[in-house]
Structure 1
Amino acid sequence: MTLLTALSGQPASLTHSAQGRHQQVYQQLHGETQDATELAREYLHDQLALVEATDCDLPEAPEQLLAWVEQRCAEVAQAYADYLEQRRQGGPRRYFQNKAHALYFLQCVAPTKQVDGAWLYGLLRYWQDQRFDGLLTTYLEELGDGEAAQNHVVIYRKLLSEHDADSEAGLEDDHYLQGALQLALGVCADEFLPEVIGFNLGYEQLPLHLLITAYELSELGIDPYYFTLHVTIDNASSGHACKAAQSVLNLLPLGEGRADFYRRVAAGYRLNDLGAGATSVIKQFNLQDQVVAMLERKRAFGQHMHSDYCRFEGQTVNQWLAKPGQIGAFLKALEDKGWIQHNQDPANSRFWQLIEGAGAAMFGVFSGYEKQLIHDWIAGEWVASERVPPVRPGRGSRFAREQHRPADPDTQALAESLCNLPDVQQLNALIPWLSARRHCTPAGLYATRRFIQLRARLR
């Protein structure tokens, strides 16, 4: 066999390092375990303690929030205009060195994006209270109002799938922190209501990195629709940013507890600063390191799978793969023997020919993302003569082929269970299906649409 031939299709559990606390909390809360509430409560207390003494840029008086949101939006708009002018004058991309860098970013933020809106889940029980209307509208819009083409989690999962970049291999514990926080807030919404409202206020502000990310993904041939969708719905005039500020005002106590409530809102707002943010994830990327780390993860499965036909620096492939920490030297040996030609079309490299193309000996060994890493690492400063055409944001057209799917048993069972229930009982029975784990399933999408219908009827 040739290099790493048997490494595809390995169980995910074998490719991960030991789980850290954030990942464990994330998976247990997302899996809706029985002790979820106690776990979420303890986790939130710990994370709030970390931000207790940190700075906060919220205005001192809550009455200033709407003006504060407008000012922040204006500053972001100006900063983005400056970025566009730099690009028009020939400036380089600010974020992504190449397509592999962009896919790395999409993978690292996936744990957060795949629980989009989860911090608001626990507020669904307040569907009769008009003070929560802005927050519930925000959550239901994160769920696409029950339409797959607009459901944020469905969109993001399809984005990863389109580029074969949906593996969790290589993710660090810190990449799960924000998602774990959002799930925990959703589970403990009653006890941490001010913190939920404050977190929502911070999360729904339009950040500069969202605009730049969408622009540069398009340049690299990656559909930016997930990000452009958030640009439009997080606007300061009528979107989620405005609703977030107004919700703080709607829910502030009128009496003695007002100051303490707003203090807790600020604490929830500061939770947004924890974990690996978008720009820090982008800065962490090193192409050489990522190639070595990816091959190291595969090394253990390929160390006994090769013949002794080829030798590099006197060692067989199996010998190079036998011990951890040798991948960097092995790649250098491949380069020295001419199997890798840097700063050229990767098609000129024998190593790449084993990976990609008709009859490639290692076809299927590497995922789309892993191949992109290797491709961009070999290509280096080489630039293809054909420019990748920018991708315009999709509008759900790629979901059209899903309209004629076989009946889903969960959806059928849910619909049947609702048949003889009064409207209020139906609505309450639907709420569990709007959780982070379920809302993106066929039954969850149906439940979201039905929830919206019943809520409108009962208001």
Structure 2
Amino acid sequence: MSSLYSIPGDQQLVPHDCASGTVRSLYRSMLETPDHPEHKNEAREFLNQQLQRAAHLTDDMPSDPAALLGWMESRAQRVGEQYADYLEQRKAGHPRRFFSCRSHALWFLQQVAPTKLVDGAWLYGVLQHWQDSRFHPLLRTYLEELGDGDPAQNHVVLYRKLLATTGCEPLPDLADELHVQGAVQLALGYHADEFLPELIGYNLGYEQLPLHLLISAFELNELDIDPYYFTLHVTIDNGSTGHARKAVQSVLDGIPVAGDSEVFLERVNNGYKLNDVGLGSAAIIESFDLDQELIDMLERKRVFGQHMHSDYCRIEGRTVNQWLSEPGLARQFLAALQNRHWIKRGEDPRASRFWNLVDGPDALMFGVFSPFEKQLLHDWIADGWFGEPSSRPASGAKPAPFRPARRKRGGSSAASSPPDPVTSVGTEPDPDVSQLQAELSLLTPAERVQRLMDLMSPGTHATPAGLYATRLFAEMIDRG
């Protein structure tokens, strides 16, 4: 395990722009073609760049490993106390701290999606060490991020369902800085042995329970958005038996008994600070601008609607097609709609003629706007209207909340067992899973294990074949 504390010869920690030009393209290439030599080199360079950024940040991680457990426990207690204070404030009538309206919360779900859709990716590389007991806390954490092959517990599957049931798909083009944390996780996962101390440190930071997670879950639920993905992380990251404690144990297990433990801990600390590169949840939440988001959305829609309207209606001298024919007119168009009383801001949106054109099954513009886009428009029109906090667009059936029951390891029942990932619809086997079963039967034991690990990669573990592979691998690990 000497690689835990040796310093790679090519790790100079010098900032270097990705050859692809953007973090977003690097993120996608690591998901789609991670084994391409050029992409692997770009990921290594990117990780070095982010480590250089992290080196200049301050942190609260104790330098003495013996103090880590107490630090973790006191930190968890402090977060709990801060959350209790928040709840008292809410009971006393204080407004929501994070989300000003429902569209603000849905927008947040989109903005953090690049990180949430690769949840756990930083641990992928530890699968290769599945026979080394020192890696067991990290390995078990990764398997739990993947739900042990249960689609109702796989974190990426859960987040995809959350985006789908809230009408947040498709995702808009998101800024590079919003892909930084996801790209860091992917780069660590595909260069685990080279950056193992940094990976252990990153895991230590990521698995500590943050206050923003508790508040986010509370306010999402308040806004009629299923918080299960977030509450799952509250429970699974607990400091008693959860990922936070496993993360501390991973640091202690990794300290070399024959080598430079000081260098190891320095690198662990820098990996810990990697959690603070890119945009954090609080900064993302604070950057929301309802006016600008609505304008941006209308500008995106303009391209598709500029030839779709009749010319019999004119609004302040322009037809709708003319308003939509030029970029940059969305704000003026909204002002014209208000001047002509098509939109009555600060009132129930149903009092606005324009809203009734887009909402309801008989609306002339039914289906033109996605549920998220309609929520933006609804909240902008409401503009502080007293009924806004509990209101939502009226059209369409309210989606059933996605609240899967937690699966208990080591036991099941016919009534509570999760769907078998071998089947996709009814009793019909998924074709990819059927093909995988046939393939595995022809492999040697070592080849079989490697094939399962390949399918548990960040880009494939949430597929039916990846879920099935994860379940087989988890069963193998549990058998010892």
TM-score normalised over the length of structure 2: 0.88
- For 1:114, the equivalent position in structure 2 comes to 117
Taking the aligned partners of 2:123 and 2:404, their CA distance within structure 1 comes to 25
Identify which of 247, 251, 258 aligns with 2:250: 247
Residue 394 (str. 1) matches residue 403 (str. 2): yes
Residue 450 (str. 1) matches residue 459 (str. 2): no
Taking the aligned partners of 1:399 and 1:105, their CA distance within structure 2 comes to 30
Taking the aligned partners of 2:95 and 2:428, their CA distance within structure 1 comes to 47
Shift of 1:260: 0.7
Taking the aligned partners of 2:427 and 2:297, their CA distance within structure 1 comes to 36
Shift of 1:304: 2.5
CA deviation string 1:35-66 (max 9, x = no partner): 33212111111111112222121101122111
Q: Which amino acid aligns with 1:280?
A: A
Contact 2:83 2:214 in 1 (8 A): yes
Taking the aligned partners of 2:172 and 2:417, their CA distance within structure 1 comes to 27
Residue 260 (str. 1) matches residue 263 (str. 2): yes
Q: Which amino acid aligns with 2:163?
A: L
Aligned Cα root-mean-square deviation (Å)? 2.1
CA deviation string 1:337-384 (max 9, x = no partner): 000011111111111111111321111111110011101111122233
Aligned pair in 2 of structure 1 residues 317, 398: CA closer, same or farther (>3 Å)?
farther
| Further displaced range: 375-384 or 138-147 | 375-384
Identify which of 76, 85, 88 aligns with 1:85: 88
Contact 2:236 2:243 in 1 (8 A): yes
Q: Which amino acid aligns with 2:429?
A: A
TM-score normalised over the length of structure 1: 0.91
| Further displaced range: 92-101 or 251-260 | 251-260
Contact 2:162 2:402 in 1 (8 A): no
Taking the aligned partners of 1:386 and 1:263, their CA distance within structure 2 comes to 47
Instruction: Show structure 2 runs of 5+ residues with no match.
Output: 1-19, 393-399, 406-415
Contact 2:151 2:467 in 1 (8 A): yes
Shift of 1:322: 2.0
SS at match of 1:237: coil
| Further displaced range: 119-128 or 357-366 | 357-366
- For 2:233, the equivalent position in structure 1 comes to 230
| Bigger RCO (CA 8 Å, 6+ sep) | 1
> Percent identity among equivalent residues?
53
Aligned pair in 2 of structure 1 residues 398, 209: CA closer, same or farther (>3 Å)?
farther
Aligned pair in 2 of structure 1 residues 325, 387: CA closer, same or farther (>3 Å)?
closer
Shift of 1:425: 2.9
SS at match of 2:153: coil
- For 2:445, the equivalent position in structure 1 comes to 423
Identify which of 305, 311, 315 aligns with 1:302: 305
| Further displaced range: 63-72 or 49-58 | 49-58
Shift of 1:20: 6.3
Contact 1:224 1:393 in 2 (8 A): no
Q: Which amino acid aligns with 1:209?
A: H
Contact 2:117 2:159 in 1 (8 A): yes
SS at match of 1:154: helix
Contact 2:72 2:244 in 1 (8 A): yes
CA deviation string 1:113-144 (max 9, x = no partner): 01000000011000000000000000000000
- For 1:32, the equivalent position in structure 2 comes to 33
Residue 270 (str. 1) matches residue 273 (str. 2): yes
CA deviation string 1:287-322 (max 9, x = no partner): 111100100111122223222222222122222222
Taking the aligned partners of 1:312 and 1:201, their CA distance within structure 2 comes to 58
Equivalent positions of 1:62-211 (< 5 A) are 62-211=65-214
Taking the aligned partners of 2:464 and 2:71, their CA distance within structure 1 comes to 39
Contact 2:382 2:388 in 1 (8 A): no
Taking the aligned partners of 2:227 and 2:425, their CA distance within structure 1 comes to 23
Q: Which amino acid aligns with 2:281?
A: A
- For 2:7, the equivalent position in structure 1 comes to none
Contact 2:223 2:390 in 1 (8 A): no
